[in-house]
Chains A and B, each alone.
Chain A
């Protein structure tokens, strides 16, 4: 379970958000500039809240009153960025293996095979990111985050940089992922996308949470 109650001042923009997850997939909905990315950057630990708490399951990740801030590399929270951010000097295989190596996890060929199968990236393993299409890159980024065995997966508009055709290509993989049961926070400004994926919605507008609830709040 994820609990967020934070405030953050970013220049002129102030962000104030409070919500708790009930469903498995939280859809974070809002226009661009609503503060969605800042909010999940705080959950990932890349940005420190000015005040407040972020807790995952029983662990306090941020608590400004106690001076607690767990750095991103100790959070075990996977992050799929809009722009994939694959490491250009590593091939796909090494990109996928990166999280396992950094966390010193034992090799897990079964999990590796399952994830590459789920995302259909088995034939790309020896390629460099520069030789991948946008959709392939995003699938590899998903695989890379999954293979680091995160407790929570953050997805920041993972389809945002893709055209319509490509979106249709990735969406089924995301649905499969959701059905795997990994808790997710899925950021999007596309209500249709969230209706397909999310089990709970948080609507963010101008840095404030304006609605919370089931997918019905996406009118």
Chain B
């Protein structure tokens, strides 16, 4: 029962690679957006906020289809990227990472935003009276105090990315070794006669990954509280 086949290993490793890359690339954007939403008032803020959360409420197949229209080989952005920078998303693992990054983005941004909102702005004022320029205030006060939230967001985003299915399979299909993640491998296996045992193994592995991510995220949240109380 617990012999993991090479094909399953391929799917697991691909899932990990896709989720790690998606999380690492999305994090700087997530921090910037979280800061903007937490600390700035500007026209269109509620629209931006809604846009960030959109992947959470849209059917994943819609997001995937929109990605295909935009980043596919004939898509507006996709064609330009392929011609000018040689970056291709369609039916590649990079496309899976893009889909996962976008689908997990709301979960990445939220804890970061909450932890920035929880920081006492008077500490940022104190920092500026001590000579810190706005970017220094961010780098030396805001970001370090928000760090546990950033890590929690990364963990949650990673967990979501590793389980993503609908948008990924719509955008980049289900090609073993290239775009077949754990989720799409399970999907294929349960449609194959005798695939049950393999599907069960992958199911257990996804449960294990998701549980570890949630526990880690909880742990970071506790660290955050402690850090803000200066102990």
Residue ranges of A at the interface with B (Cβ–Cβ < 8 Å):
44-46, 71-79, 81, 83, 85-89, 98-99, 102-103, 128-131, 144-145, 148
B227 at the interface (CB under 8 A from A): yes
Q: Give the complex CA separation of A89 and B132 in angstroms.
A: 16
B133 at the interface (CB under 8 A from A): yes
B228 at the interface (CB under 8 A from A): yes
A130 with B231, Cβ < 8 A, contacts A83-B122, A85-B123, A88-B145 known: yes
Q: Closest Cβ of chain A: how far from B28's Cβ, in Å? A: 21
B93-122, CB under 8 A of A: which get 1 and which 0?
Answer: 000000000000000000000000000101
B230 contacts which chain A residues (CB < 8 A)? 86, 88-89, 128-131
CB-based contact A72/B227 at 8 Å: no
Residue of A nearest to B144 (CB): A89
In-complex Cβ contact of A46 among B129, B227, B231 (8 A): B129
Between-chain CB contacts (< 8 Å), 26 pairs:
A44-B129, A45-B128, A45-B129, A46-B128, A71-B128, A73-B131, A74-B131, A75-B129, A76-B131, A78-B129, A79-B126, A79-B129, A85-B123, A88-B145, A88-B227, A88-B228, A102-B130, A102-B133, A103-B130, A103-B131, A128-B230, A128-B231, A129-B230, A130-B231, A131-B230, A148-B130
Residue ranges of B at the interface with A (Cβ–Cβ < 8 Å):
120, 122-123, 125-134, 136-137, 140-141, 144-145, 227-231
CB-based contact A87/B231 at 8 Å: no
Summarize B's interface: helix, strand, loop or mixed.
helix
By Cβ-Cβ distance, the 4 closest A-B pairs, closest first, are A130-B230, A88-B230, A99-B130, A102-B131
A71 contacts which chain B residues (CB < 8 A)? 128
CB-based contact A85/B131 at 8 Å: no
Most chain A CB within 10 A, of B123, B128, B134, B230, is at B230
CB-based contact A72/B122 at 8 Å: no
CB-based contact B129/A130 at 8 Å: no
B133 contacts which chain A residues (CB < 8 A)? 73, 102
Q: Give the complex CA separation of A218 and B45 in angstroms.
A: 50
Add 11 more A-B contacts to A73-B128, A73-B134, A87-B127 (CB < 8 A): A46-B129, A71-B128, A72-B125, A81-B122, A87-B141, A88-B229, A99-B130, A102-B133, A128-B230, A131-B231, A145-B130
A102 with B229, Cβ < 8 A, contacts A81-B122, A87-B127 known: no
Q: Give the complex CA separation of A72 and B134 in angstroms.
A: 10
